[in-house]
Amino acid sequence: MGTTLPKRLKQNRFRAILGITLPEVVIAGAVLALFIVGAVSTMAQINRWAVAARYRTLAMALVQQRVDQILTTPWSVLSTTPTILTAGTTTETKLPLDNDPYNNEAGLSSAFTNLDVQVIDTRTTTITSISAHMVSAVVTVSYTYRGHSYTVSMNTLRTTDDF
């Protein structure tokens, strides 16, 4: 016949197979913790990138707003040059980029409404006269977010509406 193990040894062997040891639990917990920390830090970085992109979009909208004013101001050959198209540099300071007046309306505000960092920017418009009936405009918005300076700029040419 074959050899048989004592009853005591058979029970210990089965018990070892069925149980989870403390080192296995610690290692599994460490792997899970590393995964969670990595996921949270990745989400935080993606959020920072999204906020930076949002501010860049808002700055671009401020630049585009001024360019639209320059391009749509009526300017006839027979009239004087409009004030907005007069040669020189105009600087507007302390324009909040993230000031959303609609967030204060009932139903739109939340506990997170005022948690945004206030970002103040400066918009500079430089008009250069090329000829009696043509000007060049450079509109620049500069702002600082999280210790980094950003600048968005657009150029345009404008001539009189009639020749």
pLDDT of residue 12: 57
| pLDDT value, residue 109 | 55
What is the arithmetic mean of pLDDT over 82-111? Answer: 74
In 4-101, which residue ranges form alpha helices assigned H by DSSP? 7-18, 22-72
| Residues ≥6 apart with Cβ < 8 Å to 160 | 75, 76, 77, 133, 134
In this prediction, residue 21 carries a pLDDT of 86
Task: Note the pLDDT tens digit of each residue in 25-69.
Answer: 999 999 999 999 999 999 999 998 998 898 899 899 999 999 999
Given a cut of 80, whether residue 102 has pLDDT beyond it is: no
Mean pLDDT in the chain?
83
pLDDT given for residue 81 in this prediction: 87
H/E element holding 152? strand 148-159
Backbone φ, ψ for residue 131 (5° rounding): -150, -175
pLDDT of 128 over the 60 cut:
yes
